[in-house]
Amino acid sequence: MTQPTSIYRALGQTGMHVSRFGLGTMVLGAWGNTDLAECKRIINQALDAGINLVDTADMYGDGQNEEIVGDAIATRRDEVVLCTKFHHPLGDHGDPNRRGNSRRWIMNAVDDSLRRLNVDHIDLYQAHRPDPATDIGETVAALNDLIAAGKIRAWGTSTFPASDLVQAHWSAERLGKAGPHTEQPPYSIFARSAEHEVLPTAQRLGMGVMVWSPLSGGWLTGKYNSGAAPAGSRGQSNPDHFDGDNPHKATAASALADVASQAGHSLTHMALAWATEHPAVTSALIGPRTESQLDDLLAGIDLELDADTLDAIDAIVAPGTDLNPADKGWESPGLAPSQRRRPRF
């Protein structure tokens, strides 16, 4: 099954076009499905369905995920808009120089990712989180040097506040450099704070936007309605991140399931279609752990929602609302007591 050409969208001003849904691969490998043969099949099945955006990160499984992706796309490299990320440390160590967004770490990290992916270039290289310890101009300059060297084609950010996006663009303009070309924020019916500033800012700056966790860690599949995460789910394996006992989400998920049923859709398909409705959003990342999950996600790949359904969703979770503030994905260090209070002597 191949998607029609019209389903592909311009990825900001990169000149690349990507599918309305991209494949997020975080749970393929050590962090989820350890059947490597099935992981490879999942990636290729997604490509067969017309998905051309594949997103990974160096930290996923301490590099294993990049190796899985590289092996799966080895004979199909030209079909793929390949995205990966840097910033977080790999492995359990305390070395401050082996993490972050400094030139020193970027130059090391990109070569490691190229080796694990077994490719000669990365289409989109992303700073996984902000790094307040590094001048953003240094990050901008280093990433543009990678473009000039042919190691990457474009660069972006992930889970950056709007102020940092503006500062990055200002720094790039001042230096005569480019970017960031994209932003990758968390965005779902349950996590809508990006609508306040991040999405409008990205749109004004001409950035492509790929949103992560459009199903809110599984909540928008309906599987947490009982108040307990089912066996094998991310809610069970990562309870600190996936809040399976959140009563506000449970109530909203039940109401949304009714809306989906009345519209003739599954909750999963409705939630995914909703995530691509915002005019600033280029693509939403799906993250299947099994082939059966991918089959279900692909079944709703062409769904578009009518105005009545969108209005009903807004009535349940108001625009700009996060049902759990932790779903923002990054907390500003400016909220720490040491940053909010004058020193006392």
Give me 309's structure tokens: 């359904």
Class of domain 16-184: alpha beta
In eight-state DSSP terms, residue 329 is S
First to last CA, the chain: 68
Q: In this model, does residue 137 exceed pLDDT 70?
A: yes
Report how far apart, in Å, the C-alpha atoms of 170 and of each of 147, 156, 196, 203, 275 are: 19, 14, 21, 16, 29
pLDDT tens-digit profile of 204-259?
Answer: 999 999 999 999 999 999 877 655 666 666 666 556 556 777 899 999 999 999 99
Among residues 179, 182, 181, the alpha carbon closest in space to that of 209 is found at 182
Mean residue pLDDT across the chain: 93
Among residues 132, 126, 94, the alpha carbon closest in space to that of 113 is found at 126
Question: What value does the mean pLDDT take over residues 158-171?
Answer: 97
The set of residues, in sequence order, having a beta carbon less than 8 Å from that of 271 and lying 6+ positions away, is 188, 189, 214, 215, 216, 220, 221, 256
Distance in angstroms (rounded) separating the CA atoms of residues 237 and 231: 9
Residue 2, number of CB atoms within 10 A of its CB: 9
Note the pLDDT of residue 5.
Answer: 41
pTM of the model: 0.93
Which of these is catalytic: 60, 125, 187, 224? 60
Asked if 60 is an active-site residue, the reply is yes
Residue 254 identity (one-letter amino acid)? S
Work out the burial of residue 226: count CB atoms within 10 Å of its CB; fewer than 13 is exposed, 13-18 middle, 19 or more buried. exposed
Note the pLDDT of residue 1.
Answer: 46
The set of residues, in sequence order, having a beta carbon less than 8 Å from that of 177 and lying 6+ positions away, is 140, 141, 144, 171
Question: What value does the mean pLDDT take over residues 272-287?
Answer: 97
The set of residues, in sequence order, having a beta carbon less than 8 Å from that of 151 and lying 6+ positions away, is 110, 111, 114, 121, 122, 125
